[in-house]
Chain A
């Protein structure tokens, strides 16, 4: 019986761990002008664990990342890899799932140790629909200085995919 309880708890923990994660990231990249730049960035990103696919577009100035079903990737790691390649990581469009919490009148989603704070410029319609609990959202993460990443991001939600 005890064993069954432990297994149940472990299952709940592993499910909740898998619950909070990023699903898709379209990372804007400034300063990338040539094929070897794109090649280098793509190769660098592919070395990271937790990715299903990576596509880099020079003309869009973006890296399109689809993350694995279970991953521990953070936006900070992705942006640091962009910086290591000599470019500047700017804003990103992300799809993520996690637990939405309200603290001191501010909505937050915690994902793999990072905090996504829902920005005030999220549309009023969407803000009124938010409620604590599991949520699946799409939004624009605002640009932070490349050398000063803290894992705390401001996100403007553009769509609530599931709540």
Chain B
């Protein structure tokens, strides 16, 4: 039933006038920011499957380009099914995987456009989040802050981004969710057949990888169960199609390495984004 509801909502999302979070990868950190005065609306459907259960969530992001290098975003979730033991992860490059409401600022502090369609750029991200649930995996959940930095290369044919981030949860009622350092690496390619000029549709494929190192939770002032950091490496493909003001991206990540200290192991993550540049 939950799965049916999820699919219906996914379809509604797909046909509504909404937009994904950018024109880069789905999971990995990226760099592009909106044009000065530009608006962007994204809707995403996300699912995360563990050996025990599967979460479903819709998420929305509204973004505004203050300048061509400074972008502000706010993202809100519609949780369809929460996991009782949720892995601590970022869901997308601009979205939390859990029920947090998050506001973020993207600052592209370096940009060098050095050729037709070619540029190097670097972007810093700072976010603040507040949860929509009281506990997560039995731990009181609090507000959190997140910072990330990414740098990358874009051209008409090849893309590559590398980045890293850190999320820190504050203490709440003597409990504290563990922190989350992570890193991402993305390589993208646009095949020749999709090299048609604007306004023809524009497709590209990415191979995305994500490494996460979640810290242990603190419950009633005690680290649980042990003071160890988990390790997880995810890898998978994603696809991005663009046409005029519209964009659609979808992809999956699968674990290639997992050594976690808390909670069930992950099986896969799915995500789909629809973007509309207003």
Chain A residues with a Cβ under 8 A of chain B:
28-42, 44, 56-61, 83-88
Q: Are B36 and A84 within 8 A (Cβ)?
A: yes
Q: A86 — which chain B residues lie within 8 A by C-beta?
A: 32-36, 68-69, 108, 111
Given A60-B116, A84-B35, A84-B36, residue A33 in contact with residue B154 (CB < 8 A): yes
Q: Are A58 and B113 within 8 A (Cβ)?
A: no
Q: B197 — which chain A residues lie within 8 A by C-beta?
A: 57-60
Q: Are B242 and A30 within 8 A (Cβ)?
A: no
Q: Are A33 and B35 within 8 A (Cβ)?
A: no
Interface of A is mostly: mixed
Q: Are B201 and A44 within 8 A (Cβ)?
A: no
B106 shortest CB reach to chain A, Å: 12
**Interchain CA distance A61-B244 in the complex, whole Å:** 16
Interface residues of B in 23-72 (CB under 8 A from A): 23, 32-38, 67-69
Q: B199 — which chain A residues lie within 8 A by C-beta?
A: 35, 38-39
Which of B67, B114, B245 contacts A36 (CB under 8 A)?
A: B245
The answer to whether the Cβ of B17 comes within 8 Å of any Cβ in the partner chain is no
Chain B interface residue count, CB cutoff 8 Å, equals 37
Q: Are B68 and A36 within 8 A (Cβ)?
A: no
Which of B32, B34, B118, B242 contacts A35 (CB under 8 A)?
A: B242
The answer to whether the Cβ of B8 comes within 8 Å of any Cβ in the partner chain is no
Q: A38 — which chain B residues lie within 8 A by C-beta?
A: 198-199
Q: Are B37 and A56 within 8 A (Cβ)?
A: no
CB<8 Å pairs between A and B, sample of 6 = A36-B245, A56-B198, A61-B116, A85-B35, A86-B33, A86-B36
B186 shortest CB reach to chain A, Å: 15
Q: B195 — which chain A residues lie within 8 A by C-beta?
A: 59
Q: Are A34 and B242 within 8 A (Cβ)?
A: yes
**Interchain CA distance A159-B38 in the complex, whole Å:** 39
Cβ proximity bits B239-278 to A, threshold 8 Å, 1 near / 0 not: 0001111010000000000000000000000000001010
Q: Are A35 and B244 within 8 A (Cβ)?
A: yes
**Interchain CA distance A115-B119 in the complex, whole Å:** 31
Q: Are A36 and B156 within 8 A (Cβ)?
A: no
A140 shortest CB reach to chain B, Å: 16
Q: Are B242 and A33 within 8 A (Cβ)?
A: no
Q: Are B116 and A40 within 8 A (Cβ)?
A: no
Cβ proximity bits B101-136 to A, threshold 8 Å, 1 near / 0 not: 000000010010111111100000000000000000
Known: A30-B114, A32-B117. 13 other contacts (CB 8 A): A30-B116, A31-B113, A33-B117, A33-B119, A35-B23, A38-B199, A39-B244, A42-B198, A58-B117, A59-B195, A60-B116, A60-B197, A61-B117
**Interchain CA distance A84-B66 in the complex, whole Å:** 10
Q: A61 — which chain B residues lie within 8 A by C-beta?
A: 115-117
Q: Which residue of A lies closest to B36 (CB)?
A: A84
Q: Are B23 and A34 within 8 A (Cβ)?
A: yes
A116 shortest CB reach to chain B, Å: 24
Interface centre among B32, B34, B154, B198 (most CB of A within 10 A): B198
Q: A60 — which chain B residues lie within 8 A by C-beta?
A: 116, 197
The answer to whether the Cβ of B92 comes within 8 Å of any Cβ in the partner chain is no
Q: A36 — which chain B residues lie within 8 A by C-beta?
A: 23, 242, 244-245, 247, 275, 277
Q: Are B245 and A30 within 8 A (Cβ)?
A: no
Q: Are A31 and B198 within 8 A (Cβ)?
A: no
Given A35-B202, A38-B198, A39-B245, residue A87 in contact with residue B23 (CB < 8 A): no
The answer to whether the Cβ of B155 comes within 8 Å of any Cβ in the partner chain is yes
Q: A31 — which chain B residues lie within 8 A by C-beta?
A: 111, 113-115, 117-119, 154
Q: B118 — which chain A residues lie within 8 A by C-beta?
A: 30-31, 33
Interface residues of B in 131-153 (CB under 8 A from A): none
**Interchain CA distance A99-B82 in the complex, whole Å:** 71
Q: Are B68 and A83 within 8 A (Cβ)?
A: yes
Q: B111 — which chain A residues lie within 8 A by C-beta?
A: 31, 86
Which of B33, B116, B202 contacts A34 (CB under 8 A)?
A: B202
Q: Are B116 and A37 within 8 A (Cβ)?
A: no
